[in-house]
Structure formats: structure tokens, C-alpha cells
Amino acid sequence: MTQPTTPLLQHLYPTILAGGVGTRLWPRSRKHLPKQFQDLTGNGRSMLQEAYDRVTPLVPPDHVYVITNHEYVDMVQAQLPDIPTANIVGEPAARGSAAAIGLGAIHLLHRDPDAIMAVLTADHLIRKPDTLRETLIAATELAQTGELITLGIRPSYPETGYGYIEMGDTLGQFRGMEARRVRRFREKPDLATARAFLAAGNFAWNSGMFIWRADVIMAQFQRFMPELYQALTAIQPTLHTSEAETAFARFWMPLQGNVTIDYGVMEKADRVAVFPVDLGWYDIGSWAALLDVLPKDDAGNVVQARHLHHDSRNILVFSKDRLIATIGLQDMIVVDTDDVILVMPADRAQDVKKIVQALQENGLNEYLE
Amino acid sequence: MTQPTTPLLQHLYPTILAGGVGTRLWPRSRKHLPKQFQDLTGNGRSMLQEAYDRVTPLVPPDHVYVITNHEYVDMVQAQLPDIPTANIVGEPAARGSAAAIGLGAIHLLHRDPDAIMAVLTADHLIRKPDTLRETLIAATELAQTGELITLGIRPSYPETGYGYIEMGDTLGQFRGMEARRVRRFREKPDLATARAFLAAGNFAWNSGMFIWRADVIMAQFQRFMPELYQALTAIQPTLHTSEAETAFARFWMPLQGNVTIDYGVMEKADRVAVFPVDLGWYDIGSWAALLDVLPKDDAGNVVQARHLHHDSRNILVFSKDRLIATIGLQDMIVVDTDDVILVMPADRAQDVKKIVQALQENGLNEYLE
């Protein structure tokens, strides 16, 4: 089990990124209610609430920060009533994960110059939260030395949809967990390459979770993303003042592109470390992923609906209030919402993006909102 | 084109059978609104109204009769406001097509001892209504001689879901149309047999449409279905009187089984004739049949819904008010109603019956009503 707050953790600030729209989980994930605010797993807590629940055994609620789109600030407050309003950071516009993390970092530094930032996600399922907490403790210890730490997931199969981390020499044991030097970040591979990665044994999936000192990540921005750094340092003194809005308009809005932290910093930085761990980690970025991950009923189907079927298996069926009747379906997704029904084979789940794009192109925004 | 009413047609009474529930078109076809009362083809008229429209160029509205379940009498009246209430015959309970036809026959004889009854259906699509009318005229002429006439559809492929009529010698031309002696009725064949029927050339599909003198069909009941005959003759004097209800309770309700006219009479009778015709006739008894029959959009889909798709073809999509989004679907059926969504491959359309059965067994009658 995990420990209560200790001196080691008194500067730890879990910072949950929760700004995405979750396009590939349309029509459940919509602009007015993105996936992270929904209970997709059917356990009564939204994905954001689950992300929060995973860290509150380690730190008090007022140490948890959420970075989100300004439109969702009220929703975060409603779902996480125990964290202070000041901890909910609304971006006036999305400028990529590097900028979102930078915005979190200046909030933490505004409060605590020794802040250690744990960048966490709200769109993954983590079946072993105890292991996550143990890893966060170990990583906090290592982060104090100035390392940029990423959590790498031990791969169980040659997934082509994730980035990979190539691991080098060991950095030693921290609280019983091994950290290794990151040799290189590798973009989503083709299948042959993914298989080679698995065979090599020194590759991990890039989870998008990071631990570092807030001042250390700022130093990286200064070096590798100077425009972002300048914007952040200009905004920082105005936080929680009446001048913030003007500062954001002047310095944040003009930021270019949607630069990821991987591309903007991690691939270039020197002291990058990884804890390769087994967290029971699942990306639930698509309906097919939910079909893979969620518990199945006796007939082998993922059902969150009133479902009557004849000869159907390995299908996912979502509906709030309608009966879904299926006959002879296999490996299919059926998602019912108030105004849209989506039907597709599980192996076409990535193409939901194309439907969303077609809706945008045809001005059918009512089905996206 | 067809003729206006002539002396030949003055005793003709088109009698539309419209009592079924249309189980295989669930969830659109429901107890409170069976398929024959719905506009399944999207042309603005229900199937019953289309059946009516096909014959009113031949006879005045007060010559059209409808035999239906007593629960649907008001619906028939609402959909066919021009026919007299007395022409809408409600069965207190279904007792098979032979009994329904017998009930129609005694109504006709009550009005016109020389009545010629044309038994018509409300669950078929007929693309060549002119040919139907020409055939009805020819059949009326032949029926006056005492023949039991059936309309046979020239088969275009070896369908295994229909009964077949084996045709014998010609009976001559009637108004330019050939009638043939019926040698034998054949039940739904297996594929090899159906192929042999087509190759033989003297087989027609049994359409379920018949023309005969009302007194002649009553004579057949007397000979082959004496219990039915006795019930009908006991009920006949009470029609349109206050005693009818008692008579139905006493004589109709105890009738056994659901005997079809084919089994009860046609397979046994002597003077059975057939007009083999091409009516552009389609049984739309299942969702797969609708997919085959209804016009397709540019992408090759039958769509009565707001439909957005990516890479989908030969699918049928029905919804009143929701957007149906489909990705990578082929040969599929998606039917959306207020409370139920049905999804299945087209070749499983016969199994809708099994879902309906499961609903009944599980007491989920709300989804059937």
C-alpha cells in the first residue's frame, strides 16, 4: 500500500491534463461533455474523477491541479468540488501539450518554488493505481535531482498506435523501482518495427505521464521553446490578478502550433529518465479500445444499455435509455445517444474521426456540441 | 390503362386482408401500428392505402372491404375514410386466413348474392398496378364460371421463401390474358427444388391473391372445412345486428387453429385456375426484402433517415429523427425507433422473429406494443 503524505511528497503537485475533446469517442464524447468528464467505464466516476482518486491517497486535494480548456472550468469544479478554484487552470485556447504543461508549471511556481510537477492524464484506464502511486513516490525522489522523468509502460504486444521509448542504462533503484536513462523517443512504429521493439526488450510505451521539478521544466522551455518560455514568464506575474486576461490575450493567444511536450522538449533534452512499469494501463482513446478493455458479460459483449441479442459476441453496446437489439453481430460497435446512433465494425474505430470531419465540413455542428 | 366500372365489375368486391402484426418488421411494425398501416416505402401512403389505391380505379370505394383485427378497425377507418364503416370487418380474434376470407365472404353475400370476391393483400409492393387491374378484370370474367382463381407470379429467381403453384393445361385467354389449370400447390421448396421449378417453366409463386364468387368459396368451406362453414352460416344472419357479438363469442371464438386458405381449401379443391402474371410484385415481409426492393441512394443504400456514412453500402437505415452514422458497413440493417434500435446483417433478417419471441418470453411487452 501507499504511504500517507511524507516530507518527500510535500512539494508534489499532481497536475491532470483534461483539455481534450476526445473526437474518436464521438458521439458520446462531445464538445459540451468530452470523454474525460464521462463515466465511460460504468463505475460511477468520470475519467477525471478517477485520475483524481488515484492521487489523493498521496497528497491533499489542494495539491491537485487540473489544466483544461476555459470552457470546462465549471465542469471540473463541479466534478472535483474538493480542490480549490485556483487549482483549476483554464486555457483560453489550446496551444498543445507543451504550452498546457508550461501553464501548469508557472501556477505551481507561483505557489511553491520547489514544486515537483506530476503530469497525469485523464484518458487512460489504470488498473493498478497502487503501482502508479509507488512509482510517483520513487519518481519524486529522482526528480529532486533535476531529472525529467517519464513513465514507460512495459509493452505487452506490438501496438502501432503508441509512441515508444528506447531505454538505455540503468540509473539505479529508487524506493525499490528501477529507473533507466532514455536513449531515444520513437514515433508510432509500423508493425514490423513494433515487433522488433518488443523483441529487443528495451522499449516501453510512452504513457504521456511525466514527473519533474517545475523549475527544471521551465529551464527546458527556456532552452528549447524560447517563445513559449517568454510568453509564460510574461503571464506568470499576472496569475490570479485582474491583468491575467490581458496578458493571456497578448502572450498566449499568439503562440503558434500545437507542439507536444515530446516533440518540443523530451526528444531534445539531456537528462531524461524512465521508470518502466506495469500499471495495468490502457489508453481508451477509441471505441475499439473500450471494447478491448471493459469487462464483458456472459455472452462476451461490453454492454452499457438494455441489450437483447441473438447470436452476437464481442460487440460494444452503449445506450442511455433505449433497448438495443442485435442479431448475428460480431466485433461491432453500436453507440446510441439522444440525437445520434453510430454503428461500425470495431476495426474501423479510428475512422470516427472521418465522420466528425464530415460533420464539420457539412456544417452539422449540432451533432458535435 | 384500365377501364372504368363496367357491368362486368358491378359485382366485384376487392377484399383486403390487413390483420397481421408483421413481426419480422419489428421494431417498426408493432402491435399498436402494424406494418400495413405504415408508409414503409416512403411515398406518403401506407401499405393499406396503396392496396386501396390499386383497386379504386376499378370499383367505387364502397365496394372495397377490409378484413382486420377488431383492434385496428378505427385505424383502417382513419386511413381509408372513403369506405363505409360497414365495409371494415374486425375479427374478434385471428383464426387463420381461411376464416378471415370466410368472414369477408358472408359480409359480401349479405349484401350481394352475386358478389365476386377479390382477396388482396396489404403487405406486398406491386410495381405494375395497371397489370394487376387488367388481371382482376380477366379473373372476374373467369370467376363468373365458378372457378377458384389464384394470381401466380412468374418467378424471376429460385426463391425458397414462397410457396409455388404448379401449372397444368391452359384454360384459354380471358381479356387477352391466359389462365391455366392449377395442377398442385407446392410448399416452400429447398433451393435445388426451387431451381428445378424454374427450369421446368410451369411454376409460379403463390401471391396469396385470389378471385372467386363468394358463394363458390362458401361451397368449398362447406365441403372441406365444415366447422368453419357452420360457424359462418351461424354468424351471417347476425351481421350488423345487436346479436353479432354473441354469435362471434359462440361460433367464432371456438374455431380451432390458424388454417390457411391454401391448406384448408386450395390444395383440395377441383376447379382451381391461375393467371401467371408479372405484376412487379415484391413481398416486403422482412427488412432484407425492403433493402432489396426500395430505391437506393447514390451510395447504394436504402435510407429513410438523416444518414452520414463513411464507406458503407447496401445497407438499410431507418430513423424518424436521429442521425445514423455508419462506418464500413455492408449488407446491414439499422432500424431506429423511439425506444428500440435493431442492428443486424441483412441475411439474418428472418431472425427478428427470435428477438420478438425473446421479448415475449422475458415479459418485455412494452417493446412489442
* pLDDT digit string, tens, across residues A72-97: 999 999 999 999 999 999 999 999 99
Query: Hey, is A31 helix, strand or coil?
Result: coil
Residue A12, exposed/middle/buried by CB under 10 A (0-12, 13-18, 19+)?
buried
Distance CA(A72)–CA(A48), nearest Å, equals 12
| A85 & A35 share domain | yes
- CA-closest candidate to residue B207, choices B296, B136, B145: B136
Q: Computed from CA positions of residues A148, A154, A155, A161, in that sequence, does the dihedral angle turn out positive or negative?
A: negative
**Which residues in chain B belong to E strands, given as ranges?**
12-17, 65-69, 88-91, 116-121, 124-126, 148-153, 164-174, 177-186, 203-213, 272-277, 281-283, 302-310, 316-327, 332-336, 340-345
- Contact (CB<8Å) A341/B319: yes
Contact A340 B352 (CB under 8 A): no
Query: Of A261, A283, A305, which residue sits at a domain end?
Result: A283
pLDDT of A4:
47
Q: Is the pLDDT of residue B352 over 70?
A: yes
The 10s digit of each residue's pLDDT in B211-225 is 999 999 999 999 999
The CA-CA-CA angle for residues A214, A216, A222, to 5°, reads 105
Rounded to the nearest 5°, which phi and psi values hold at A184? -165, 145
Q: Are residues A208 and A324 in the same domain?
A: no
Q: Which helix (H) or strand (E) holds B96?
A: none
Q: Indicate the DSSP class of residue B29.
A: S
Residue keyed to cell 523501482: A177
Q: How many residues does chain A have?
A: 369
Tell me the whole-structure pTM to 2 decimals: 0.85
Looking at the DSSP bridge assignments, the partners of residue A49 are: none
Residue A368 touches partner B, C-beta closer than 8 Å? no
Main-chain phi, psi angles of B108, to 5 degrees: -65, -45
- In a domain? residue B110: yes
Distance from CA of A147 to the nearest CA of B (A): 45
| Domain count across chain B | 2
Cis peptide before B84 (omega within 30 of 0): no
Q: Would you call A341 an interface residue with chain B, using a CB distance cutoff of 8 Å?
A: yes
Q: Could you tell me if A35 and A49 are in contact, meaning their C-beta atoms sit under 8 angstroms apart?
A: no
| pLDDT value for B19 | 87
From the candidates A323, A350, A357, A365, which should be mutated to test the interface with B, based on the most B CB atoms within 10 A? A323
pLDDT in tens, A25-49: 999 999 889 999 999 888 899 999 9
Q: What residues make up the domain containing A336?
A: 287-367
pLDDT of residue A3: 46
Which of A286, A304, A308 is most worth mutating to test chain B (most B CB atoms within 10 A of its CB)?
A: A308
What per-residue confidence (pLDDT) applies to A322? Answer: 95
Q: In terms of domains, do A188 and A149 share one?
A: yes
Closest approach of chain A CAs to the CA of B32, in angstroms?
A: 18
For residue A1, pLDDT beyond 80: no
Mean pLDDT of B172-189: 95
Residue A116: helix, strand or coil by DSSP? strand
Domain boundary (B228, B261, B283) is at: B283
Helix (H), strand (E) at residue A333: strand A332-336
> How far is B96 from B74, CA to CA, in rounded Å?
21
Query: What is the Cβ-side half-sphere exposure of residue A175, based on CA atoms within 13 angstroms?
Result: 17
**In a mutagenesis test of the A interface, which of B310, B311, B318 is the best target, namely the one with the most A β-carbons within 10 Å?**
B310
Helices B97-111, B214-224: axis angle to 10 degrees equals 130
Residues A257, A298: one domain?
no
| pLDDT tens readout for residues A222-251 | 999 999 999 999 999 999 999 999 999 999
From B328, which residue of chain A is nearest by alpha-carbon distance?
Answer: A344
In a domain, A212, yes or no: yes
Cβ atoms of residues B305 and B322 within 8 Å: yes
Residue at B2 is within a domain? no
Quote the CA–CA distance of A66 and A128 in Å, as a whole number: 22
**Nearest neighbour of B328 by CB, restricted to A351, A359, A367:** A351
Would you say residue B346 has pLDDT above 90?
yes
- pLDDT at position A112, please? 97
Pair A342, A274 in one domain: no
Residue B284, pLDDT above cutoff 90: no
Domain-embedded: residue A315: yes
Is residue B322 less than 8 Å (CB to CB) from chain A? Answer: yes
pLDDT average, residue stretch B98-103: 98
- A345 shares contact with chain B (CB less than 8 Å): yes
Give burial (CB, 10 Å; 0-12/13-18/19+) of A330: middle
pLDDT on residue B4:
47
- Same domain membership, residue A352 and residue A278: no
Q: What crossing angle do the helices spanning B47-55 and B129-143 adopt, rounded to 10°?
A: 60
Q: Does residue B1 have a pLDDT over 50?
A: no
| Cβ-based contacts of A311 with chain B (< 8 Å) | 348, 351
Give yes or no: residues B276 and B310 share one domain.
no
Q: Do residues A133 and A173 share a domain?
A: yes
Q: Looking at the structure, do residues A337 and A275 belong to the same domain, yes or no?
A: no
> Which element (helix H / strand E) includes B225?
none
What distance separates the 2 farthest-apart alpha carbons in chain A? Answer: 63
What CATH number did the domain enclosing B221 receive?
3.90.550.10
Q: Any chain A CB within 8 A of the CB of B158?
A: no
Whether residue B47 has pLDDT greater than 70: yes
The CA distance from B10 to B112, in Å, is 10
Q: Please report residues of A whose CB lies closer than 8 A to that of B341.
A: 319, 322-325, 334, 336, 341
List the single residue in A319, A324, A344 with the smallest CB-CB distance to B327.
A344
Query: What pLDDT digit, counting tens, does each position of A46-58 carry?
Result: 999 999 999 999 9
B140 with B185, same domain: the answer is yes
Residue A1 falls inside a structural domain: no
Residue B91: pLDDT band with limits 50, 70, 90: very high
Average pLDDT over residues B282-308: 92
Mean pLDDT, range B227-240, rounded to an integer? 96
Q: How many Cβ pairs closer than 8 A exist between chain A and B?
A: 109
Same domain? A279 vs A297? no
Distance CA A353, CA A212 (A): 33
For chain A positions 172-211, those within 8 Å of chain B (CB to CB) are none
Assess whether pLDDT exceeds 80 at residue B6. no
The closest of A172, A127, A177, A113 to A151, measured between CA atoms, is A177
> Which pLDDT value is given to residue A339?
95
Contacts A359 to B, Cβ<8 Å: 308
How far CA B330 is from CA of A291, A342, A354, B344, in Å, comes to 21, 14, 18, 11
Radius of gyration of chain A (CA): 21
The Cα of B295 is separated from the nearest Cα of chain A by a number of Å equal to: 22
pLDDT of B2 strictly over 50: no
Mean per-residue pLDDT for B236-246?
95
> A325–B354: do the CB atoms touch at under 8 Å?
no
- pLDDT > 90? residue B23: no
Does residue A323 lie in a domain region?
yes
User: What integer is the mean pLDDT of A300-319?
Assistant: 95
Does some domain include residue A2? no
Q: In the structure, what pLDDT confidence band is assigned to residue B42 with cuts at 50, 70 and 90?
A: confident
- Boundary of a domain, candidates A249, A283, A317: A283
CA dihedral A258, A264, A267, A272 (to 10 degrees): -120
Q: Is A15 exposed, middle or buried (0-12, 13-18, 19+ CB in 10 A)?
A: buried
Same domain as B316, residue B265: no
Question: Around Cβ A2, how many Cβ atoms within 10 Å?
Answer: 15
